[in-house]
């Protein structure tokens, strides 16, 4: 690892979501492009890429379903893989132990869904003392309807996540900003 102390978390980027009724592909090309740039940039810099899959009793999120696998549009060779049963990747997965064992103190957060597992993991990691870069452009979510009938767009949800995380739980970063402190490995 040429950039010690940092890991990229790729949270719930799995085919399970394609099976959900709210699945939309409107933002998928931008998300997968930015996520792939983040993954490739991390690999080039020696930052370990940690893949986290959500696994539970929902038929589409069970290991038996065949959907708990990397989203087809993303190419990913993980340095470590964890299965989580909760919203935070740091609960019940073993990730917390792996991070300590590997001297990781900074996390770069990406994945699906922006306001759920990505945001929850960010808050939890911050509370545990990790430095966190939250890369909104490498997260994916879907429109949501409030009980009042108000529809919140993907952009609304992402802005809200940035608002509540920025300066409290994370630095909001672009792909390039998250990778800037990590030099590219020499090909020697």
Q: Within 13 A of 35's CA, how many CA atoms are on the CB side?
A: 29
Two structure tokens written together for 167: 């300066």
- Average pLDDT for residues 22-30, to the nearest whole number? 96
Two structure tokens written together for 9: 């978390």
Going by the DSSP 8-state scheme, the letter that residue 166 receives in this structure is B
Mean pLDDT, the chain, integer: 94
**Percentage of the chain with pLDDT > 90?**
93
- Average pLDDT for residues 114-136, to the nearest whole number? 98
Quick: pLDDT tens for 38-72. 999 999 999 999 999 999 999 999 999 999 999 99
Per-residue confidence at 184, pLDDT binned at 50, 70, 90? low
- The residue with greater pLDDT, 70 or 186, is 70
As beta bridge partners, residue 54 has 84
pLDDT score of 3: 59
Strands 131-140 and 106-112: parallel
**Percentage of the chain with pLDDT > 70?**
94
Two structure tokens written together for 117: 């597992």
pLDDT score of 4: 72
Q: Which helix (H) or strand (E) holds 7?
A: strand 6-11
Neighbour-count burial for 44-57, b at 16+ CB within 10 Å, e otherwise: ebbbbbbbbbbbee
Euclidean distance between CA atoms 16 and 11, whole angstroms:
12
Quick: pLDDT tens for 74-87. 999 999 999 999 99
pLDDT score of 2: 45
Quick: pLDDT tens for 156-173. 999 999 999 999 999 999
- Average pLDDT for residues 119-143, to the nearest whole number? 98
């Amino acid at each position: 690892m040429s950039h010690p102390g940092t890991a990229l978390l790729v949270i719930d980027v799995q085919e399970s979501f394609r099976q959900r009724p709210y699945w939309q592909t409107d933002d998928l090309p931008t998300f997968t492009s930015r996520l792939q740039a983040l993954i490739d940039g991390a690999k080039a810099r020696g930052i370990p890429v940690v893949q986290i899959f959500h696994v539970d009793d929902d038929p589409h999120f069970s290991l038996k379903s065949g959907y708990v696998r990397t989203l087809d549009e993303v190419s990913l060779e993980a340095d470590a893989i964890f299965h989580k049963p909760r919203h935070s990747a740091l609960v019940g997965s073993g990730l917390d132990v792996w991070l300590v064992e590997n001297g990781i103190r900074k996390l770069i957060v990406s994945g699906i869904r922006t306001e759920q597992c990505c945001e929850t993991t960010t808050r939890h990691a911050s509370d545990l003392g990790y430095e966190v870069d939250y890369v909104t452009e490498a997260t994916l979510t879907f429109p949501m309807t409030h009980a009042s009938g108000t529809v919140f767009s993907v952009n609304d949800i992402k802005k809200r996540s940035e608002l509540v995380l920025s300066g409290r739980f994370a630095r909001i970063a672009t792909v390039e900003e998250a990778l800037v402190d990590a030099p590219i490995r020499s090909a020697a």
